[in-house]
Structure formats: structure tokens, C-alpha cells
């Protein structure tokens, strides 16, 4: 069996590795457009500020290491088209500019996603960066190293925007963070994201909410960001407004896709075309709390979905279990985490829901160093089924969210959660875990 | 309705408080043998070393504060007998030494537990302490403050023994920790407790395993601990070998009890006698992974079980959901946690089980400051159902154990756990959570 993998980051290399472990005689060819495979993209904001000094720290395995495992990786090779009837792909060697065709028995489309660029006037000026590949990160790090770059404008205050802003502050840059919506971290409810907004401002970030980019100005390089609420002098711009699946090369095919171009897959990672699988940031995921398939481009899902493909191809029973939207990020000294639905998401999905907002200490109140955790729990009326949790605090948030994530994935009610036997000791928790203090407030 | 509560710590006061909130017209009388109600007993080891400076920091509410809520608390009042037929209790006022009878409609026995004393020769010498009530803690703290007390022998290396040893080291004492078994923390498997043994020794604790106390020597105060493996000079002794339910005053009654004197209750906290409920460190708990009712004297269970009694009395549907043996403790710079069954417990319960031992970093390997977590997962063969987890590490253990605790309580398999959508960011976790790295090793 010959397997072609388009794109060699999380899902693609996770699938290739597990497949090769399961089936020694399979031929696996991976075509990767960029210079790198198998790297930790989520670490890139910290690479900018030298919290992580070297780019190769982010690389889990090199093409050579995959070769030793019997996987042929071709970097700087872009797949430009697929003939699904004849089961061939057209590949462009980006170094030689030569094209060639390659045939497959099974095709894995794991072509990830790229940063969305804003199609405004001046967007071709020098000094406007994005951060979605390791090549992007290297270019951005080089640019930030220039002494003339003192003021940096970050467009978009989602996860990446906030993480990048923090790392720019660490580097001593002046940071302007510009967000179109009325809050940072749009997946969160605004009463929870307000904690992060305060922390950004406390750390000197010049935060502009409700502010839409109009265009860029500059002669050679960008020097001004023009918005609907004023203009900002700048030495460099980082656009962090989201990502779009790298599926443009498939746009004339019969593959079923979501509106944004994500490839629709079932829970076996099968696409709408036989022998073609997809996973990772270019594919949909089933969301356990939403009716429609979702687009949630995260490395955790990509790794799991990649393994599902390998299992399918090697005849193991396996399926993707779905997501609930769990995430966590560091925002200066805060841990910020969410699982399940926010209040606005619950409303959008037409749940009959209610919420509780609860503040509780991360450890026994009498134990020195206790800090508050702010929690918002969304639950279904009548059943008291837990639908979502958002948490913000200095300590004890990041791992705690996963207790709630597990409960939500198992369909637990507030009362069932309150009755869980959770571990307790004064340095780590009050006698009722903060999450149980919150669920105790829910009466059903 | 008149309710008498025997013992005013976690279960008793939790029941009384919730009952009074639910039913304004109920009369609640609490008789408490010691001077204090409603205190955080788990904080006492840290009170010894001034990590927690004042005893009143440990007191959640005073008798006066309960009085304001309509609950009559009588401290220094010991219940010496119960006439279940006539529904009366005999109470001794320990200040006046007077006895009186009081009648009840419903009786709550929440008389907690006391430290087991070793009945060896010399056990009546001065300077031999235990740590199960706040009065014990005050006396011990006073004794430790004496300059002559330099070398302290702790008998028993369970949770309390280890926590006390750490706090004695913090105080600059020479600590001898003497344990009869071949490991510290007997509920853990010895390959896991070995990490704690190393940390105790690294911090100067003179640890003696496989060592059984024979007797004490001394003239007025204790000055020598004599064991089957030598004698140890000492200035003070702390016995920490476990607790026994305070149910001796009921020993001639028809109440069904476990062998150790814990009152047997069903999942409504009902005893074998009508209108008599029990909860907390004097009662049994259902264990979700064991056939027989268990004795697990922890504040978390006491608080939950107390609320179940209050719910029963006020006509709400509620029951105790059972325990799985979740616990966590700090041992110097280590977090040590367990949920479900250890390997030896699984063997004892006749499970067809296997284990995986896995070491994984607490955060992305490339993010600075990553430290290892050592994990041992016990699972059922054939079904791959998760039965237990033990974890030791410097960071990320205490809250993570609760993700596994939730999974075990919901009967999840290793594969289901591996597929959970858990939150990930490089400062907090590898892309696969350490627990998922472990469950990924389990093949079913």
C-alpha cells in the first residue's frame, strides 16, 4: 500500500508515524510545502521572545529522523492538485520548480492552515507579519531583533494575539493590540475576558477594542496602522486574526467542505471521496455540544485525528471522539481556560441554559499564598447538565479545567460533579474544590 | 423537629448548616467534646511550623457564629450514651461534670475519630503526642516551642506522619520517622512511595522502615524510643499511626459497625437504627471499586456526607455517590497524589489487572522549567477500564489527579481517556497530557 500525506505537521506526521509502526510494509511519502515537519507551533510566541531560544527546540523530529523510521519526507514540496479519479497528486518541487505526478492508494490531506491576511490597502508593505508556520516565526524573530523596531501593532486579540502581545512586552517593545470586537479572546464571554483585558493594560499593552483596521500606510515599510478609531504609528505589524484551511488547491474538487474551506470528515476521518482522509487544521471536527461540525484548529485534535487515520488504514477499530472546545492560555501571570460552551455559544446553539459566576480560592483559605479563581459555569436548565466552564486565576486553573472537561464529555450534571471524590490537601485546594464550590451553587 | 448532632467538625456542622438553611423551624443541638467546632484539621501539620501562624485561622466558624444561624453548639459536652428506644442521649458537661439527658427526633452521629495510641510500655510518659484534634495541635505546638526539644520521633509514615515530618524539618528539628512497613504512605505502591522516601532522606529525615516500636523509656518525660531495630534518643514523640472512630460510647448498642468501630451506613447515610444517621470519620463509605464498605476518614467525604443527611431530613432527593480513594499531599517540593486502586489494592480486590509506569514532562518539553511526572496507572485487563492512578512530581500533579478521578468514577477505559479533549498550552502541558501519554501505552 502506498500512502501519500499532504502536509507534515501534527496530524500528518502523527498518522504517518503510527501507520509505519502498525504496518511495516506500507510506503509513506509526505509532501510538505515549508522547510519543516513535526514542530510545536504552539510554542512559537515564546520563541519570539527567547523564552524558547532556538527554533530547533520546537522541532520534534527532522525529516532525516523520519527517514530512519521508513517515512519519506519531502520538504519544500507543494501539492498543487489532486486527480481523485486516477488517484494521483501533482507536486511542485519548490527548490527546482519542477512538477511531477505521484500515485497513491490512500491519500491523507493534512495540509494544515495559514494565517488569514487582511486584504486592505498597504497590505503588501514590508514589515507586516503573520505567525502560522515556523518559517513565519523565523522571519518575525529576525525582524523584531532590529533596534529600529520599538513599537509593534498586533491586529487581533485572540489566543495568538494575546500570547504574542505578552511576549512582545517581555522583549521591551511598545505593544498596540487592536481588536475589532468589544473584547479580547472572542470565544470567552466578555465578563471573563475582562480579567485578561485588565492584565494586558496593567502590563502596558495599549489595547484598542471595537477598532477595525482600515488600511496600512508607509513608503517602503509599514509605518502607520489606520483604523476606524484613529491612526497608530508603528514599526512593525503582526496580523493574528485567525487561520484558514490550506485547501485552495482542492477548490474545484468534489470534496465536501465547510464554508471556510475545512474538509468535512466523519468520525473515522473519512472525507466524501473514497480512500481520501483528512485531519488537523484543514479539517472539520465533530463538536459534542453543537449540531454542526466545527472548525477547531488545535494541535491536540490534530494529533488524535491523525492516529485515527492510521488506525483505520491498519484495520484497527478507532474513531475520533469529538471535541468540546477545551483550551488554556497563559496571559502574563494569569491562567485562562475554557471547556465546553460559553454563555454566548450556549445561546447560539439554542440551549435552555443558565449560568453561575463564582469566585473561590485555589487552595485552603488559611494556607499562605491562596489566590482567587474566577469561574463561570454554563448549565442546561431542567437537567442541570454541565455545558461549559470558563476559569481565570493565577494558579490552579490550567489543570483544573480538565476535570470539568472530562465531566462535560461524560454528560455529567452539576450534582454529579459536586459529588465527585476529588483529591484535597490544604496546599492545593479548599476542602471543596473550587469547581465544586461553583457546581454546589446550581440547584436542580 | 429536634435534631441532635454528636460531634461538630466537618460532617456534623455541614449537616447542621445545610439543614438549618433548608428548614428554618428545625431545632439543632450540637454536642462537641472538644473546645472547637468546624475547623480545618488537615491544616494542623502546617500550624505546627507556623506556615499557618494562628489556630483561629483554621477555624471556619465559631460556636457563636453558628448560634447566629440558629444552631445551638455546646462545646466541652461529651455524649456518653444513647438510648435508641427512647430516643435520648446522655450528655456530660465536661466543665461542670454534670450529666443530663436530651431527647431527639433525629440523631446524627458525627463523632469523628481519634488518633490510635500504641499500648506499649512507657506510653504514659510525658512528651508523647498525637495530632487529631485542634486541642492536640495546640498542645503539640507548645511542646515543640521548647528549646530543649531538638530531636523528634514520628511514629508512622502515613499522610500525617509525612506532612508532620516535613513541617518539623521546616522548624529545624532533627526528625526520626519510624515506620513498621517497608514503605512510607502505605496506600501507595512501593515503587511510587520510593520517590517520597528519597525526598524525606534528601531533606535530612532519619527514615527507619521495617521498624516496629517496642516501648518507650524515660524518667519523667520520654527520652528513648525502643524498636525491634535499635533505640533512638528523643526529646518528643508524635504518634501518627492512624485513627479510630469515636464510637466506643455505642459499643453495646445494636448499631451495625465495621470491625474498626466505624458505623455502617447506606448511601443515604442511614444507620441500622431508624432515625439515626452517621457520616464523617466515624462512619463507613461506599467504595466504587471495592465490594465491601470502606473506612476512608477524609474531610471531603465528611462534608459531602453531611449534606446528604441534611437533604434526607429536609425531604430532598440526595445520596452519597461513593468514593474512589482520591488523595493528594505535599511532601517537600513534591506533589504526591492517588485516585482509585493501587496495584496492591487491585490484587487484594481480585481484579484481573495490569499496570503501566510512565514518566512524562508536566509541560511542553521545549518550554523552560519542565519537570517530570512519574505515573502508575492500574487498569482492568480485557476491558481496559481504568482502576487507579498514582502520580508524583514537582508540578502539575495535584489538579491533574482529579481528571483521572473523574474518569475512574465514570467507568472510563484507557482509550476513552486518551481521546478526551483536554486543554493544552506549552506552559501547562505537553500536547498530549501526561495522563494521556500514560493511557496511550495501554493497548486494548
Task: Output the nine-digit C-alpha cell for B331.
Answer: 511532601
Q: Coil, strand or helix: which one is A46?
A: helix
Among B291, B313, B335, give the residue marking a domain's end. Answer: B313
User: Which three-class secondary structure state does DSSP give residue A273?
Assistant: coil
Phi, psi values for residue B437, rounded to 5°: -60, -40
Closest chain B CA to residue A302: B431
Residue A429 near chain B (CB below 8 Å)? yes
Domain boundary pick from B257, B283, B313? B313
Determine, for residues B367 and A406 on separate chains, whether the beta-carbon distance falls below 8 Å: no
Q: Are residues B19 and B66 in the same domain?
A: yes
From first to last of the 444 residues of chain A, give the pLDDT tens digit. Answer: 999 999 999 999 999 999 999 999 999 999 999 999 999 999 999 999 999 999 999 999 999 999 999 999 999 999 999 999 999 999 999 999 999 999 999 999 999 999 999 999 999 999 999 999 999 999 999 999 999 999 999 999 999 999 999 999 999 999 999 999 999 999 999 999 999 999 999 999 999 999 999 999 999 999 999 999 999 999 999 999 999 999 999 989 999 999 999 999 999 999 999 999 999 999 999 999 999 999 999 999 999 999 999 999 999 989 999 999 999 999 999 999 999 999 999 999 999 999 999 999 999 999 999 999 999 999 999 999 999 999 999 999 998 999 999 999 999 999 999 999 999 999 999 999 999 999 999 987
Residue B263 located in a structural domain: yes
The answer, for B230 touching chain A at a CB cutoff of 8 Å, is no
Note whether residue A320 is domain-resident: no
Q: Which of A329, A427, A285, A241 is nearest to B328 (CA)?
A: A427
pLDDT band for position B47 (50/70/90)?
Answer: very high
> Does a structural domain hold residue B398?
yes
- In order, the DSSP letters of B160-224 are HHHHHHHHHHHTT-EEEEE-SSSSSSTTS-HHHHHHHHHHHHHTT-EEE-S--EEEEEESSBEEE
Interface of A with B in 299-358 (CB under 8 A): 299-301, 303-304, 318, 320-330, 335, 337-339
Residues B110 and B132 reside in one and the same domain: no
Q: Domain check: are A308 and A347 in the same one? A: no
Q: What value does the mean pLDDT take over residues B100-109?
A: 98
> What average pLDDT does the segment B62-67 reach?
94
B378-434: per-residue pLDDT in tens? 999 999 999 999 999 999 999 899 999 999 999 999 999 999 999 999 999 999 999
Looking at residue A355, what is its pLDDT? 98
Where do the H-state alpha helices sit in A120-188?
A: 134-144, 159-170
List the single best residue of A10, A22, A425, A429 to mutate versus B (max B Cβ within 10 A).
A425
Tell me the chain A residues in contact with residue B403 when contact means C-beta distances shorter than 8 Å: 399, 402-403, 405-406
Q: Do A330 and B58 touch (CB under 8 A)?
A: no
Tell whether B213 and B190 lie within a shared domain.
yes
> Under DSSP, is residue B347 helix (H, G, I), strand (E, B) or coil?
helix
Taking only residues 23 to 52 of chain B, the set having a beta carbon closer than 8 angstroms to any beta carbon of chain A reads: 40, 42-43, 46, 51-52
To which residue does cell 456526607 refer?
A: B305
- Contacts (Cβ under 8 Å, ≥6 apart) of A301: A280, A285, A320, A323, B421
How many residues can be counted in chain A? Answer: 444
Partner-chain contact B403 A403, CB within 8 Å: yes
Using an 8 Å CB-CB cutoff, list chain A residues near B428.
Answer: 328, 330, 335, 398-399
B367 in A contact zone (CB under 8 Å): yes
Q: Is residue B434 part of a domain?
A: yes
Q: Are B98 and B226 within 8 A, CB to CB? A: no
Is residue A28 located within the same domain as residue A95?
A: yes
The shortest C-alpha distance from B75 to chain A (Å) reads: 23
Residue B54 in any domain: the answer is no
Q: Quick one: A187 and A201 in the same domain? A: yes
A321-367 residue pLDDT tens: 999 999 999 999 999 999 999 999 999 999 999 999 999 999 999 99
pTM of the model: 0.96
CA distance to partner chain A, nearest, from residue B429 (Å) = 9
Minimum distance, in Å, between the CA of residue A368 and any CA atom of chain B: 7
| pLDDT score, position B138 | 97
**Residue contact B330–A425, C-beta within 8 A:** yes
Q: Do A426 and B40 touch (CB under 8 A)?
A: yes
What's the pLDDT score for residue A443?
A: 87
Taking every pair of Cα atoms in chain B, the longest distance, rounded to a whole number of angstroms, is 70
Q: Give the residue from chain A lying closest to B54, CA to CA.
A: A366
Of all residues in chain B, the percent with pLDDT exceeding 90 is 98
The alpha-carbon gap from B55 to the nearest alpha carbon of chain A, in Å, equals 10
Number of domains in chain B: 3
Q: Are residues A289 and A349 in the same domain?
A: no
Contact call for residues A207 and A177 (beta carbons, < 8 A):
yes
Partners of A423 on chain B (C-beta within 8 Å) are: 326-328, 337-339, 398, 401-402, 405
Q: Are residues B377 and B389 in the same domain?
A: yes
Percentage of residues in chain A having pLDDT higher than 70? 100
d(CA B2, nearest CA chain A) in Å:
26
**Is B45 inside a domain boundary?**
no
- Residues ≥6 apart with Cβ < 8 Å to B267: B286, B308, B319, B320, B321, B322
Q: Of B239, B259, B280, which closes a domain?
A: B239
Inter-chain residue contact A320 with B405, CB threshold 8 Å: no
CB A390 within 8 A of CB A342: yes
pLDDT surpasses 90 at B108? yes
Q: Give the Cα separation of B155 and B214 in Å (integer).
A: 11
A307 with A266, same domain? Answer: yes
Contacts of B96 (CB under 8 A, 6+ apart): none
* Mean pLDDT for chain B overall: 97
Together in a domain, B368 and B434: yes
User: What range does the domain containing B413 cover?
Assistant: 327-439
Co-location of B376 and B305 in the same domain:
no
What gap in Å lies between CA A399 and CA A421, rounded to an integer?
Answer: 16
Residue B17: give its domain's CATH number. 3.50.50.60
Is the minimum CB–CB distance between A388 and chain B shorter than 8 Å? no
Residue A61 lies in a domain: no
Answer whether residue B444 shows pLDDT above 90.
no
Cα dihedral angle (B66, B72, B73, B76), rounded to 10 degrees?
Answer: 150
B409 touches chain A (CB under 8 A): yes
Strand A113-115 with A106-109, pairing: unpaired
State whether B425 and B367 are in the same domain: yes
Give yes or no: A444 in active site.
no
The reply to whether B371 falls in a domain is yes
Work out the minimum CA distance from A152 to partner chain B, whole angstroms. 24
Amino acid at each position: 500500500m502506498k500512502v501519500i500525506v499532504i502536509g507534515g505537521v501534527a496530524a500528518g506526521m502523527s498518522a504517518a508515524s503510527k501507520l509505519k509502526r502498525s504496518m511495516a510494509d506500507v510506503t509513506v511519502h509526505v509532501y510538505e510545502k515549508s522547510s519543516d515537519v513535526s514542530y510545536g507551533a504552539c510554542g512559537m510566541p515564546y520563541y519570539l521572545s527567547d523564552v524558547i531560544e532556538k527554533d530547533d527546540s520546537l522541532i520534534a523530529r527532522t525529516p532525516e529522523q523520519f527517514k530512519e523510521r521508513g517515512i519519506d519526507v519531502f520538504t519544500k514540496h507543494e501539492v498543487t492538485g489532486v486527480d481523485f479519479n486516477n488517484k494521483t497528486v501533482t507536486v511542485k518541487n519548490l527548490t527546482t520548480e519542477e512538477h511531477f505526478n505521484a500515485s497513491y492508494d490512500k491519500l491523507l490531506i493534512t495540509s494544515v492552515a495559514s494565517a488569514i491576511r487582511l486584504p486592505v490597502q498597504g497590505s503588501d508593505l514590508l514589515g507586516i507579519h503573520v505567525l502560522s508556520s515556523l518559517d513565519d516565526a523565523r522571519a518575525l524573530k529576525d525582524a523584531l531583533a532590529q533596534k529600529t523596531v520599538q513599537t509593534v501593532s498586533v491586529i487581533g486579540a485572540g489566543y495568538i494575539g494575546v500570547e504574542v502581545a505578552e511576549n512582545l512586552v517581555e522583549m521591551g517593545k511598545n505593544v498596540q493590540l487592536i481588536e475589532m470586537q468589544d473584547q479580547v479572546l472572542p470565544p470567552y464571554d466578555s465578563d471573563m475576558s475582562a480579567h485578561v483585558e485588565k492584565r494586558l493594560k496593567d502590563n502596558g499593552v495599549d489595547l484598542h477594542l471595537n477598532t477595525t483596521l482600515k488600511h496600512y500606510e508607509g513608503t517602503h515599510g509599514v509605518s502607520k496602522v489606520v483604523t476606524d478609531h484613529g491612526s497608530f504609528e508603528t514599526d512593525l505589524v503582526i496580523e493574528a486574526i485567525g487561520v484558514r484551511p490550506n485547501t485552495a488547491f482542492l477548490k474545484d474538487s468534489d470534496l465536501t467542505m465547510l464554508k471556510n474551506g475545512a474538509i468535512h470528515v466523519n468520525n473515522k476521518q473519512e472525507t466524501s471521496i473514497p480512500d481520501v482522509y483528512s485531519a488537523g487544521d484543514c479539517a472539520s471536527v465533530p463538536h459534542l455540544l453543537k449540531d454542526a461540525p466545527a472548525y477547531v484548529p488545535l494541535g491536540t485534535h490534530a494529533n488524535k485525528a491523525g492516529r485515527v487515520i492510521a488506525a483505520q488504514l491498519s484495520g484497527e477499530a478507532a474513531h475520533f471522539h469529538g471535541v468540546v472546545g477545551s483550551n488554556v492560555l497563559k496571559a502574563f501571570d494569569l491562567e485562562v481556560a475554557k471547556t465546553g460552551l460559553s454563555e454566548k455559544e450556549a445561546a447560539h446553539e439554542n440551549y435552555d441554559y443558565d449560568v453561575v459566576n463564582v469566585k473561590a480560592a485555589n487552595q485552603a483559605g488559611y494556607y499562605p499564598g491562596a489566590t482567587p479563581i474566577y469561574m463561570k459555569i454554563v448549565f442546561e436548565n431542567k437537567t442541570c447538565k454541565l455545558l461549559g466552564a470558563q476559569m481565570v486565576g493565577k494558579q490552579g486553573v490550567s489543570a483544573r479545567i480538565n476535570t470539568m472537561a472530562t465531566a462535560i464529555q461524560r454528560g455529567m450534571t452539576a450534582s454529579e460533579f459536586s459529588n465527585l471524590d476529588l483529591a484535597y490537601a490544604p496546599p492545593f485546594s479548599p476542602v471543596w474544590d473550587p469547581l465544586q464550590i461553583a457546581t454546589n451553587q446550581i440547584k436542580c
